[in-house]
């Protein structure tokens, strides 16, 4: 039953529909919501973008906080058949009793050995082989021989359910529309409207005579619509006839047959939640990597199509998950149901122009503040958490009043039951990406630091009195004075060659400065106690560098006398040593 929400048309919202081919999406945006439609692929000034393709992380990273897009980066983890089988199989190994809602699956050729072992133990078992990246039933076939599978291809092989529940002796599956409105944490809604798709040939167990009849064993609309037996539904109100019917009509039929429909819905809801729990870490990682400052958890949403089949006992099995379910409208029933699904999903997302105006106003304030203060302030982690909680409460109130035909299945009162699945999926994701290595290293470092702190706490600390502190400072001063006195004693042993007080200044004429190069003074790093050195001859005149070179000799043998006239060597580097130079007269009496 359709619950029509109250919708106020708003022509201030721009919806970019350049990347979708479905007329029903354009109709809902323009006629029901009154939005402006943009067909420009280069246009980035939109409030909502609806696309039929997967969204790369780069697209989400460039979006503004007020913008919304109808896909999550990373949803391929369940929309591709191989990834769905891989992720569900991982959790089934850990929780075999909880994850038993999908057929036994193998990845070909990776799991070929396990598949051979299964075929040896279970003879006359038919397998259904699906290309890992196909859709609309293309390339699917049944077989009971592994030799018939292309060894160079990549497939998902499943055990064929040969005892399905039948209506009018026809095999069918349920297309259930699921809205994922947030990923961190998950927000999941299931629509009451959906479709039941029937095969066009009466069912019988697969044999050598009929296993190639795809119109008997497959329920895909794209496979069966070309069969002459296919009956189209011409009246949207007559939704329990033809080979495509409403989901509600199937529930009514099951209720008449004595099945507990509410229990069936809960079982399907449980399977949907567990399926999404298996990829929650992947979705959250992509989302937070692209939008680390987002606190609303509402920039992405996605309408998924879950394909569910019932066995002869009415037990549901998840076959596939479609991240871009077909919104073609070949019949009035298609138009009616898909219009309601898209409309109710957009109402729940609460797309308004207020968010854009508030964002632009805040940006202007930040630019002005940065121009005045020169600083770019960001919210702290605690402030972001408070803001996130407020937005969550506001969103809960909105969703409670605008569910339409959706029902909220997560979060709910039993949220804690599913947390263990998310935690294990997160551990598997960290192991797969190598994030657990960095995390374990960080934890190890933190543990070592804590251990050091505990050891420091065990050592008793000596409390010093004021008197002890004064005595310690006094002792340090005495020791410093002793060192200074020792250095003065060492410096006093330098010969009388050093006479800085009685020196005659060299002639300051240009000729004298050019003919007699100036002699560098010895500067020590211990400047307060080591005097500068100027070298003089016996007549108390400064010695020329040319005279100094042949007569200088090092007593202690620490460095070559040639260094005295090398201008590239700083005398400060020689400071730690004390030198005594003896000048001997040469044969000329100099």
Residue-wise DSSP of 520-531? PPP--SSTTTS-
pLDDT digits (tens, 9 = 90+) for 547-556: 544 444 443 3
| Cβ burial 144-154 (10 Å sphere, 16+ → b, else e) | eebeebeeeee
State pTM to two decimals. 0.74
Q: Which two tokens stand for residue 446?
A: 């933190």
pLDDT digits (tens, 9 = 90+) for 381-420: 888 889 889 999 999 999 999 999 999 999 988 888 999 9
**Please, which residues have CB within 8 angstroms of residue 195's CB and are 6 or more apart in sequence?**
174, 175, 244, 245, 246, 247, 333, 334, 337
Longest Cα separation, the chain: 135
For the chain, domain boundaries = 14-53
Question: Angle at the Cα of 413 (from 412 to 416), degrees rounded to 5?
Answer: 90
Reported in sequence order, the residue ranges of 398-556 that DSSP labels E, i.e. its strands, are 406-410
Q: What one-character-per-residue DSSP string does 85-120 give?
A: HHHHHHHHHH-TTTS-SS--EEEETTTHHHHHHHHH
Q: Which of 128, 336, 346, 142 is nearest to 244 (CA)?
A: 336
Q: What is the pLDDT of residue 584?
A: 42
Q: Which two tokens stand for residue 201?
A: 């040939």
Instruction: Report the DSSP pairing between strands 186-198 and 170-183.
Output: antiparallel
Low-confidence ranges of the chain (pLDDT < 70): 1-4, 376, 435-441, 458-464, 487-590
3-class DSSP state for residue 380? coil
Q: What is the pLDDT of residue 522?
A: 43
CB-CB contact of 424 with 91 (8 Å):
yes
Q: What is the pLDDT of residue 370?
A: 80
Q: What is the pLDDT of residue 288?
A: 93
**Please, which residues have CB within 8 angstroms of residue 387's CB and are 6 or more apart in sequence?**
295, 379
- Burial environment of residue 585 by CB neighbours within 10 A (0 to 12, 13 to 18, 19 or more): exposed
Neighbours of 575 (CB within 10 A): 15
Please tell me the chain's helix, strand, coil percentages from 3-state DSSP, rounded to the nearest 5: 40, 15, 45
Q: What is the pLDDT of residue 62?
A: 93
């Amino acid at each position: 039953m359709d619950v029509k929400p109250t919708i106020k048309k708003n022509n201030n919202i721009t919806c970019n529909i350049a990347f979708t081919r479905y007329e029903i999406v354009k109709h809902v945006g323009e006629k029901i919501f009154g939005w402006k439609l943009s067909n420009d692929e280069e246009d980035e000034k939109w409030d909502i973008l609806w696309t039929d393709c997967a969204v790369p992380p780069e697209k989400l990273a460039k979006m503004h906080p007020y913008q919304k897009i109808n896909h999550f980066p990373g949803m391929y983890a369940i929309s591709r058949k191989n990834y769905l089988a891989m992720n569900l199989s991982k959790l089934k190994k850990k929780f075999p009793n909880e994850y038993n809602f999908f057929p036994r699956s193998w990845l070909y050729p990776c799991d070929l050995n396990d598949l051979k072992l299964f075929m040896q133990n279970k003879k006359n078992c038919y397998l259904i082989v699906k290309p890992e990246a196909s859709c609309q039933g293309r390339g699917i076939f049944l077989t009971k021989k592994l030799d018939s599978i292309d060894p160079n291809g990549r497939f998902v092989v499943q055990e064929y359910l040969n005892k399905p529940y039948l209506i009018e002796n026809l095999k069918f599956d349920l297309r259930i529309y699921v809205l994922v409105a947030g990923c961190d944490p998950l927000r999941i809604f299931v629509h009451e409207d959906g479709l039941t798709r029937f095969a066009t040939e009466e069912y019988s167990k697969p044999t050598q005579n009929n296993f190639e009849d795809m119109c008997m064993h497959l329920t895909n609309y794209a496979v069966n619509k070309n069969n002459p037996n296919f009956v189209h539904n011409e009246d949207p109100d007559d939704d329990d006839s033809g080979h495509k019917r409403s989901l509600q009509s199937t529930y009514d039929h099951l209720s008449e047959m004595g099945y507990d429909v509410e229990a069936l819905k809960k079982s399907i809801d449980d399977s949907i939640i567990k399926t999404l729990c298996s990829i929650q870490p992947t979705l959250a990682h992509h989302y937070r990597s692209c939008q680390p400052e987002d606190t609303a958890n509402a920039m992405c949403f996605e309408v998924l199509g879950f394909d569910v089949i019932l066995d002869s006992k009415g037990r549901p099995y998840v076959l596939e998950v479609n991240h871009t379910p077909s919104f073609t409208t070949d019949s009035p029933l298609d138009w009616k149901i898909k219009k309601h699904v898209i409309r109710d999903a957009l109402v729940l997302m609460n797309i308004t122009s207020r968010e854009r105006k508030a964002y632009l106003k805040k940006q202007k304030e930040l630019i002005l503040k940065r121009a005045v203060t020169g600083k770019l302030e960001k919210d702290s982690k605690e402030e972001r958490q408070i803001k996130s909680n407020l937005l969550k409460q506001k969103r809960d109130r909105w969703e409670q009043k605008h569910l339409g035909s959706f029902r909220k299945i997560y979060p709910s009162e039993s949220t804690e039951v599913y947390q263990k699945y998310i935690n294990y999926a997160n551990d598997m994701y960290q192991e797969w990406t190598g994030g657990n290595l960095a995390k374990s290293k960080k934890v190890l470092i933190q543990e070592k630091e804590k251990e050091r702190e505990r050891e420091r706490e065990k050592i008793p600390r000596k409390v010093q009195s004021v008197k002890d502190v004064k005595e310690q400072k006094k002792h340090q001063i005495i020791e410093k004075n002793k060192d200074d006195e020792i250095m003065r004693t060492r410096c006093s042993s330098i010969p009388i060659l050093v006479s800085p007080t009685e020196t005659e200044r060299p002639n300051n004429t240009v000729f004298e400065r050019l003919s007699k190069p100036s002699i560098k003074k010895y500067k020590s790093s211990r400047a307060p106690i080591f005097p500068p050195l100027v070298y003089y001859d016996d007549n108390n005149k400064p010695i020329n560098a040319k005279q100094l070179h042949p007569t200088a000799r090092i007593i202690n043998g620490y460095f070559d006398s040639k260094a005295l006239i090398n201008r590239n060597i700083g005398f400060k580097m020689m400071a730690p040593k004390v030198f005594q130079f003896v000048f001997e007269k040469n044969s000329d009496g100099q």
